[in-house]
Structure 1
Amino acid sequence: MRRPVDSLFGRLALLVVTVLLISHFAWYALMRLDRNQLQARYAVEEATFLVEAVRQHVARSPDQPLPSRVRLVDPTSPDVPAENAGVPPGLRRFLDDVQDRMPAGTQVRVGTPGKPPTLWVRSATDHSWIVVPVQPLRPPRSLDRTVWWLITIFSAGVMAALFAAWQLQQPLRSLAQAVARFGRGLPVPPVPERGPRELRQLTRGFNQMVQEVASTENDRAVMLAGVAHDLKTPLARLRLRAELMDEAKVRDGVVRDVDSMAHIVDQFLVFAHDGADRSEPVEVDTQCERVVRTYRAVAAGAPAVQTALNAGPGFRLPAATLDRILSNLLDNAHAYGAPPIVVETARTSAGFTLAVYDNGNGIAAHDLINASRPFVRLDPARGGNGHSGLGLAIVERLVRRLGGEWDIGNHEGRGLRVLMSFAFDVLPRGTSKITESAWGR
C-alpha cells in the first residue's frame, strides 16, 4: 500500500506544514508574552505617575478636590488593607516593581480583593495613604482577532508552499516515470526540461543518455537483424541441397544442423526486435493450457509437462508475448532440465505470478547471475544443439517490457525456476483487441 508521506510531495507538504505551524505558534506565544510584559510595565509606570501627581497636587493645591477615583485615607482608618500576604506571583512582581520606583521606606499594598483594583502607597513623608486605581494585570482573555489573522496567514502560506512543492514535484515525477519506462525497455519520449537549474541539468543528461542508448540499440538491432536475415537464404539453399542427398544418414545430420542454425537465426531476429506487442490480450491460464497441450503434441518427450493454473480470468497478457515467453522457457527446461516440467500461475496480494520450473539439477549459484545474459551458454558442450544463449535473455526483456519483475533460481532442490511477477493492472481492461502480431507469427 502506498503511503502519501513516501512521495516527494508528501514529504515537502509535511515539512512545510510543520515549519509553518511551529513558526506561527512560536511567534504567537512570543507576541502574547511580550504584550503581557508591556502591560505590566505600563501599569507600573501609570501607578507611579498617578502617585507622584497626587503628591504634587497635595503639596501645591491642598484645597483643590482630587479626581473621583483617587483619594487620601487616614493611616488609622479601618479601610487600610493589611500587609500583602498570599499575593499571586504576578501581582507580587508588580508591587515590587512599584516599590522599587518609590523612595526608600515606601509601603505599597493592594486593595481589598473583590473590589475595583486599587494601589495603596505611603512613604515616610506622606501623612495619608494615597489610593490610586490600577489596570487589571492579567484579565482573562478569549481568542482575539490575532488568532484569526494567524489562521488566515497560516492557511495562505500553506497553500502557497504546497503549490510550490507541487510545481517542484511535477518535473521529478515526469523524470521518474521516464526512468521507469526506460528500465522496462519501452520507448521514452524526451522529458521536458522544467524546474530548478539542477533538475533541468539532470533531465537534459537523461534525455541525452536515452538518445545515445537508443542509437546504440538501434545499430545493434539493425546489425543483428541484417546478419540473421542474410543467413536465411543460404540456410534455405543448404536445406534444399541436403534433401537431395542420397545417403540418408548424412542427409539427416545436415538437415538437423540446418534446422539448428535456422532456430538460432530466428532467436537473433526476436532478440533484435524492439517494437511493442500489438497482439490480442488473452487470459494467461487459458493460453498456458493451450500452449502446453500443443507442446506435448509436437515435442518429443514433452508429455511430462504439467500445469497448476490458479490466477483466474483477470490475468491477461498479449498473446504473442506470452507464447514467446512460454516457448522459450519450455524449450530451455526440456533441453537442460528434467521432467516433470511445471507451468504455474497464481494470484497474490501484490499481483499475478507466472512460473515455469523443472526437476533437474538446476544451475550453480555462481552461474545464476549470468544465466540471462545474451549469448551466454553455461554449458559450452551444448553449443551445437540449436541454442544461442538468448532464450532467457529474451524472456527477461519481454517480462520487463510489460512492467513485470522476474526472478531466476533453483526451486527447493527441484531444478531451475523462473518466477515472473506482474501487477494487477499489467493490462488495462479496456485494451483494444488488435489481432496483428508484432512478431510476425
Structure 2
Amino acid sequence: MPSPSWQKRISSLLGWGSLALGSSAFCLLVFQALFGRQLEQLQTIQLGRDLALNVRLTELALERYPPHLVGELTGLDLVVTVRPKASTLNPSPGFKRQADALQKELCQRLSHCPMVYPQRAAGDERSIWIELISPLEPIWLKVDVPSMMRWPPEPTLLGLSLVGAGIICGGLFLLVEVEAPLRSLEKALARVGDGGGPDAVPARGAPEVQRLTKRFNAMVQRLATSRQERATMLAGIAHDLRAPITRLQFRLSMPQLTAEDRERCAGDLQSLERITGQFLLFAGGGDGEASVEVPLEQLLAEVASSHPADQLHLDLTPCSLAVKPVALSRAVANLIDNAFSYGKAPVVLRLRELNARCSIEIWDQGEGMPAHEWEQALQPFHRLDSSRGQQGHCGLGLAIVSHVATLHGGRLECLQGHLHPEEHPPGHFAIRLSLPWPGARNAPAAPQS
C-alpha cells in the first residue's frame, strides 16, 4: 500500500494531468474556431493546386487509355457516369463554401472550368466530384476532402493547443499551488507581526512552499514556547524569591539577631544568589559564546575542584574538543549540584569516549528518578519534589543542561546502573551528557534510557 504522501502526490498528478488534457482539448476547439477559416483557405489553395495537376494529367491519359486502366495505374477514383449520385446527407455550409473555393482554384489553373459537386456520406466523410474532359464518355473524379475537425488535428493547431494548455496549467499551478499558500502564509506573518499567536499554517502547495510553511510553523512553535517560558520564568521569579525575602524581612525586624539567625540569613542570601544565578543562566543560555578547543579533563577537574575529594571522585580520560567552556562548565556544575542535592554521595564524575562520542557522566548512589518523569524534568521550572525554592533550587538546572547540550549538538540521557552492567557503572543513577566528535554531528541519536 502506498503511503498517504505518495497517494496525495499521485492524486495531484492525476488531477493536473486531467486538467492538462482538458485544457488542450479546449484550446484546440478555440483555435479551430478562431483560425479554422484561415487554415481552411490555405488547405483549399494547396488542395486546388494538387487537384489541377491531377485533373490535367488524367485528361491527357484518358485521350489514349480507357478509364479503368487509368484508374488502376494512377490510383484515382474514376467513375463513368452522366452525373454523380446525390449525397445521402446535405453538405454543410462550410463544406459548400470549400467546394466553391476549390472550383475557383481549378478554374484559375485549368484551361476550362470543371463542374464540382460536394458530397457528404455517413461518418462525416466528405468528398467532391470533379467533371473531367473525355473524348468518348463522361467521367467524374472523386476526391476526399479532409475536415478541419478530424483527428489527428492539424499540426499547427495541435502545437498551438499544447502551448495554450501549458500556459493555462502553469497559471493555475502558480495560482493554486504557490500564490494561495503564500497568501495564507503572508496573513499568518502579519498576525505574528501584530503580536498575535497564529495557529499552524497547513503545509500545502508546491514542495518549496511546503518547506517554507513547515519552517514558519517551527518558528511559530518556538515563539510560542519562548513566550510560555518567559511567562513561567516571571511567575517563578516572583514565587521563588518571595519565601527567602519574607524570611529575611522577618529576621531583620527582630530587635536582636542571634548567631543562629545570622546563619539562617546568610543561608537565605545564598539561596537568593543561587536562584538569581539560575535565572540569569537560563536567560543568557550561552548562545553568543564562541567555541574553543580545550582539554575537557582539565575543564571538568576545575569545575569539580570546589567539592571535597572524598565526596566527588574523578574518572577522567584525556579528551580535547571544541566546546563553549563557560556554558559547559555551568551545565556540569548544575549536574553535580543536583547529584549532591537529590542523590547520595559519593558522586563520580566520569569522562570517556563512548560510541564515537565524548561522554560526560555524573553518577551518584541514589535511586534516581522514574523513567516516565525524565521528559518532564527537562522542562523549565519543573521540580520532582513538592517544595519549591528550598535550598535555592528553582527547577532550571536540567533545563539549562539540556539547552547547553543542544548548543553543542549533543544529547542528554538518564542511566540506571542495573540496566547497564556491561559498562561497569560506578553508581546507581547517572545523567550522561554526550558530545559529538567533529564530523559526527549528524550521527543518529541513540534511544534514551
- TM-score class, shorter: 0.3 to 0.5
TM-score of the aligned structures, taking structure 2 as reference length: 0.44
TM-score of the aligned structures, taking structure 1 as reference length: 0.44
- Does 1 or 2 have the higher relative contact order (CA < 8 Å, sep 6+)? 1
